[in-house]
Amino acid sequence: MYLNTRRSRTFPAALRIPLTESSFLGYKRACVSTFSRPIDVLKRLARSAGAGALATGVDLAVLTLLASVLGLGPRAASVPAFIAGGITMFFGQKYFAFRERGKAPSSQMALFAGVQLVGLGLNAALFEGVMRIAPNAQGAYVLVRLATTNIVWLAYSFPVWHLVFRTRNKPNQELLESGIVIDP
């Protein structure tokens, strides 16, 4: 059995890498992506939803505390509440949803913040688009916000978070000894 390094039917012997059955299986295990098992993705999606619900609760609790109890205006209270919710979201996604424990949080936090900023723009654009297309939805703006936010979460945030929190599989030791270099 050979690992084809090109998609061509014929290729020079120098480009053929002999593999044993066990090393080929190790190669396949080393290259498995995070989307390989749909049940795992669905479980991660449910955990991600739970982390998002917790972050929303923290956001609203801080907003309520600052605006209602401490007398800070709702607009001024919105910024620290959003930050508290965002920090909760990061740690909830990292440790609970994606169960990522290997990397230092600082580098992932910067990537996560970038993803969240793009998500914020997408949320704003989608919400505005729906409100313009369906002027009758003005009275149901909360439902529109929930729907558009969930669309952005499912179509953008959740898939991109897989890149932020991806764990690199360690190659099989037998593959390393055989001279095959894998960059997962």
Q: Supply the pLDDT for residue 33.
A: 45
Give yes or no for a contact between 123 and 149, defined as CB atoms under 8 angstroms apart. Answer: yes
Give yes or no for a contact between 81 and 60, defined as CB atoms under 8 angstroms apart. Answer: yes
Task: List b or e across 160-170, with b for residues whose CB sees 16 or more CB atoms inside 10 angstroms.
Answer: bbeebbeeeee
pLDDT along the chain (184 residues), means of 10: 45 45 41 63 94 93 92 87 93 93 84 94 91 87 88 94 76 50 47
Enumerate the domain spans of the chain: 2-31, 38-164
Q: Supply the pLDDT for residue 177.
A: 54
The model carries a pTM of 0.67
Q: Supply the pLDDT for residue 92.
A: 95
Question: What's the CA gap between 112 and 35, in Å, rounded?
Answer: 19
